[in-house]
Amino acid sequence: MTARRWVVRIGVLLLLLVLPRLIYPILAVDILCWGLFALAFDLVFGYAGLLSFGHAMFWGTSAYVTANLLFRTGLPVPVAILLGTIAALVLSLPTGYLSIRSAGIYFSMVTLAFAQMIDFIARQAEDYTGGDNGLPGIPRPSLGPIHFDNAIHLVLAALGYVVAARAIESPFGQALRAIRDNRTRAQSVGYNPRVQMMVAFVISAGLSGLAGGLQAVGHGVVSLDVVHWTTSGIVVMMVLLGGTGTLLGPLVGAALVLLLRDSLASSTTATGVVTGAVFAATVLFFRRGVVGTLLMLDFRRRKAVEAPAPPAAEAAPPKQVTAANPQVRTP
Amino acid sequence: MTLLLIQIFNGLVNGAFYALLSLGLAVIFGMLRIVNFAHGALYMLGAFTAYAIGERFGIGFWPSLLIAPIAVGIFGVILERLLIRRLYDLPASYNLLLTFGLTLLIQDGVRLIYGISGQPYAPPAQLAGATNLGFIVFPTFRLFAIIVSVVVCVLTWFVIERTRVGAVVRACTENPTITRAFGIDVSLWITAVFGFGAALAGLAGVLAAPIYSVDPLMGSELIITTFAVVVIGGLGSILGSVVTGYAVGVLVAIGSALYPPIANTLIFILMALVLLLRPTGLFGLQEAR
């Protein structure tokens, strides 16, 4: 099992390395950044069971902070991105504290409302965000003889990915899942759900910020899209489509959504119609997502091998009750 | 003083729309325990229905005031029967996500047909111009919008809390199994209530058409602001959501008169304050989560 995990991980890393050769580089950067963003979001959605509908505020705040630092100071790119990440972390403290006070569907509405507030502020602060024009031409200082951009992206994104993976696989991650599946029981074992969820929220916001800063530098432009509510929605779609509560799912989902949007952009004007329809269809019929489905098939197959001719009831997949299926193992 | 009064009336106009929308959300939430993200899109559809039948068939405002809500209500019934129904066994988040996807779809669909720019919609001749109220002069149509909103909200409250129809709806909400045992078709009532909530959004849309511009995105920002209103008031009670809608509208109007830059963010600051002091909202129930 462990060996297989490593094969998958190294395979993904290699794929990401050659990705800029397979598709055009900006799209590769997009997939990398949105993949990290989606993974960060999944930490809260898939593992803590909280549907945040406002993650654009962390992604967008970091993007604007990073861009402004690069415009106004001579800071090196990684430092600017790091400071952007810290800005997202700082923002997550009050918003997280307040939204975690409410649970379930209220949590979604509160996070959405806070993100809308950041959207309004971004629109008003034209000196820093460029308003509707956005901030084009973010300077990308050269870092020596070789073009380091992609390497920096890969290293920082990999760092974010490792942080998320460690958080998920650690005892902390286990506790999160325990709270998600049965809050009362987890509480009686001694966990404080609010504290655990707050920590998850802050880590998630920080990683979203890291992804947002990387995206800003990678694109060389930040527009109001980064704080728009559709951004918060699209990242949910990526996670659902790829597979909630899996490590690889968000990356796969990000790639699928971005490739879909990319191909739509050149072939039709009805991007929103198709995106919305795919979104609704995913929620209705494909909640396990790509990776979730693959894992389930694999799970069934191995069960069938271990115990020949199992009774039908046992072989049937467990009913999906929570946001993510606890039976699904992370690759 | 006059300026402040005008500002309060402007607040009441905004409050009229917050109240109608959060009332629809509350009615649907009470029955189905879901939050309908597409409520903003339904509001937009109401405005566009009025606009479209006006353009194509020359149907004026008054018939539209009836036709558009009914059309949107029927659309809501179709949505509930075909799609939303399938997710009742899952956490409410899934229906929020489904309706989010539908919002993208509906918005972009309307954009494809009518374009992104706003369409003008004239108020009816009887309600054009302004009325002198004695202490201020205020656009007649806006006064009309406030009055319609108040009347509809009070009627809805009355029907749900004081009539037999309302008793059935409340029974379906509180204990569907027992209600079914009495021979009442709960699933039919659920559909009806969803259709009614959708119709309220459609009505708000028609009322908004002459005030704001009719464009595909008109509902998306309003619905998020309404979510903040709903968080402030709590989804627990019909009356609570209406009162909060008006109160927030007026408070924000006064606040932004005193300090204009705060206009857009004040509602969210209010929300943060309420969350600090009463996490379940002013009228929220402890169990509503």
* Cα separation, A288 vs A291, whole angstroms: 8
Whether residue B168 has pLDDT greater than 80:
yes
Per-residue model confidence (pLDDT) at position B32: 85
B-chain CB neighbours of A121 within 8 Å are: 265
Please give the DSSP secondary-structure letter assigned to residue B130: E
Q: Do A296 and A328 form a contact (C-beta atoms < 8 A)?
A: yes
Residue in A closest to B99 by C-alpha:
A280
Span B14-26, pLDDT tens digits: 999 999 999 999 9
**Amino acid B263: pLDDT:** 80
> Which of B93, B112, B231 lies nearest to residue A113, judging by beta carbons?
B231
In a domain, B282, yes or no: no
pLDDT tens digit sequence for B227-245: 989 889 887 778 888 999 9
**Cα torsion at A142, A144, A147, A153 (round to 10°)?**
-70
Subunit contact B97:A236, Cβ cutoff 8 A: yes
Contact A326/B at CB under 8 A: no
The answer to whether A108 contacts B93, with C-beta atoms less than 8 Å apart, is yes
Collect all residues with Cβ–Cβ distance below 8 Å to A202 and sequence separation of at least 6.
Answer: A89, A92, A93, A96
Does residue A98 belong to the interface with chain B, where contact is any CB pair within 8 Å?
A: yes
- What pLDDT score does A136 carry? 87
- Tell me, yes or no, if A277 comes closer than 8 A to chain B by beta carbon: yes
State the Cα–Cα distance between residues A229 and A151, nearest whole angstrom.
31
Contacting residues of B for A94, CB less than 8 Å apart: 272
Phi then psi dihedrals of residue A201, to 5 deg: -60, -45
Q: At what angle do helices A56-72 and A229-242 cross, to 10 degrees?
A: 120
Of the residues A273, A320, A321, the best mutation for testing chain B's interface (the one with the most B CB atoms within 10 Å of its CB) is A273
Is the residue at B283 inside a domain?
no
pLDDT of residue B276 exceeding 90: no
Domain containing B157 equals 2-277
Alpha carbon distance B228, A110 (integer Å): 7
Tell me the backbone φ, ψ of residue B119, rounded to 5 degrees.
-105, 140
> What 8-state DSSP symbol labels residue A309?
S
**Within a domain: residue B206?**
yes
Instruction: Pick B112's closest partner by Cβ from A112, A117, A270.
Output: A270
Which residue has tokens 């009539």? B163
Comparing CA positions, the residue from A141, A122, A148 lying closest to residue A133 is A122
Residues of A in contact with B103 (CB under 8 A): 276
pLDDT at A150: 63
A51 touches chain B (CB under 8 A): yes
List CB contacts (< 8 A) between B28 and chain A.
none
For chain A, the domains span: 24-240
Looking at beta carbons, which residues of chain B come within 8 Å of A323?
91, 93
* A284 vs B contacts (CB less than 8 Å): 83, 86-87, 98
Per-residue confidence (pLDDT) for residue A301, from 0 to 100: 86
Q: Model pTM?
A: 0.89
Interchain contact, A276 vs B104, CB within 8 Å: yes
pLDDT tens for each residue of B108-117: 999 999 988 8
Q: Note the pLDDT tens digit of each residue in B106-156.
A: 999 999 999 888 888 989 988 888 888 888 888 999 999 999 999 999 999
Is the CB of B98 less than 8 angstroms away from the CB of A280? yes
Q: Identify the CATH number of the domain in which residue B80 sits.
A: 1.10.3470
Q: Which one is predicted more confidently, B289 or B9?
A: B9
In this prediction, residue B73 carries a pLDDT of: 97
Burial class (CB in 10 A: 0-12, 13-18, 19+), B51: buried
Instruction: Using CB atoms, pick whichever of B103, B231, B280 lies closest to residue A109.
Output: B231
Q: Residue A170 and residue A238: Cα distance in Å, rounded?
A: 24
This complex has an ipTM of 0.90
| Tally of domains in chain B | 1
pLDDT digits (tens, 9 = 90+) for B242-264: 999 999 999 999 988 888 888 88
State the maximum Cα–Cα separation within chain B, in Å, rounded to a whole number. Answer: 59
Interface of A with B in 204-263 (CB under 8 A): 229-230, 233, 236-237, 240
CB contact (8 A) between residue A105 and residue B271 = no
Task: State yes or no: pLDDT of B66 exceeds 70.
Answer: yes
* C-alpha distances out from residue A173 to A79, A103, A180, A245, Å: 29, 19, 11, 11
CB contact under 8 A, A109 and B272: no
B130 beta partners: B139
Q: How far apart, in whole angstroms, are the C-alpha atoms of residue B207 and residue B65?
A: 8
Cβ separation A229–B276 shorter than 8 A: no
Q: Which residues of B touch A109 (CB under 8 A)?
A: 35, 227-228, 230-231
| Nearest residue in A to B102, CA atom | A276
Query: What is the pLDDT tens value at each position of chain A, 331 positions in all?
Result: 567 777 877 787 777 767 766 777 778 888 889 999 999 999 999 999 999 999 999 999 999 999 999 999 878 888 999 999 999 999 999 999 999 988 888 899 999 999 999 999 999 898 899 888 888 888 765 554 444 456 777 788 888 888 988 888 899 999 999 998 888 999 998 899 999 999 999 999 999 999 999 999 888 889 999 999 999 999 999 999 999 988 889 999 999 999 998 888 888 788 889 999 999 999 999 989 999 898 888 888 888 887 665 444 444 444 444 444 444 444 4
